[in-house]
Structure 1
Amino acid sequence: MADMICAGFGGQGVLTMGLILAKIAMDEGKNVTWIPSYGSEMRGGTANCSVKITDGMVASPFIKHADIVIAMNQPSLDKFMPMLRPGGTLMVNTTIVKDAVRRDDIEVYGVDATEIAQQEQNARGANIVMLGALASAGKLLTHDVIEKGIEAFFASKGKHNPKNAACYERGFACCARLG
Structure 2
Amino acid sequence: MAHQEIIIAGFGGQGILSAGRLLAYAGMLENKNVSWLPSYGPEMRGGTANCNVIISDDTIGSPILNSATVLVAMNGPSLDKFEGIVEEGGIIITDSSLVPRRPSKEGVDVYEIPATQMATDMGNHTYACIILLGKLVEKTGIISKENFEQALKKVLPQKKHYMIPEEMKAFEMGMKY
TM-score for both structures, normalised by structure 1: 0.89
Please name the residue that 1:11 is paired with. Answer: 13
Q: Does 1:173 align with 2:160?
A: no
- 5+ residue gaps, structure 1: 175-179
Number of aligned pairs?
172
After superposition, what is the alpha-carbon deviation per residue over 1:122-143, rounded to whole angstroms, capped at 9, x for unaligned?
Answer: 1211111111121232452233
Q: Does 1:163 align with 2:169?
A: no
3-state SS of 2:72 partner: strand
- Which stretch has the larger CA shift, 157-166 or 75-84? 157-166
1:23 to 22, 25, 30: 25
- 5+ residue gaps, structure 2: none
Q: Cα offset for 1:16?
A: 0.6
Q: Cα offset for 1:151?
A: 4.0
Q: Cα offset for 1:42?
A: 1.2
1:61 counterpart letter in structure 2: P
Q: Cα offset for 1:165?
A: 2.2
TM-score for both structures, normalised by structure 2: 0.90
Kindly report the root-mean-square deviation, in angstroms, between the aligned alpha carbons of the 2 structures. Answer: 1.5
Q: Does 1:66 align with 2:68?
A: yes
Percent identity over the alignment? 38
Does the CA-based 8 Å contact 2:30-2:143 persist in structure 1?
A: no
Does the CA-based 8 Å contact 2:39-2:51 persist in structure 1?
A: yes
Q: Does 1:119 align with 2:121?
A: yes
Note the 1:1-179 alignment, pairs <5 A. 1-154=3-156, 157-158=157-158, 159-160=160-161, 161=163, 162-174=165-177
Q: Cα offset for 1:23?
A: 0.4
Does the CA-based 8 Å contact 2:83-2:105 persist in structure 1?
A: no
2:11 & 2:125 partners in 1: Cα distance?
14
1:167 & 1:77 partners in 2: Cα distance?
22
After superposition, what is the alpha-carbon deviation per residue over 1:52-78, rounded to whole angstroms, capped at 9, x for unaligned?
Answer: 111121111110010111101000000
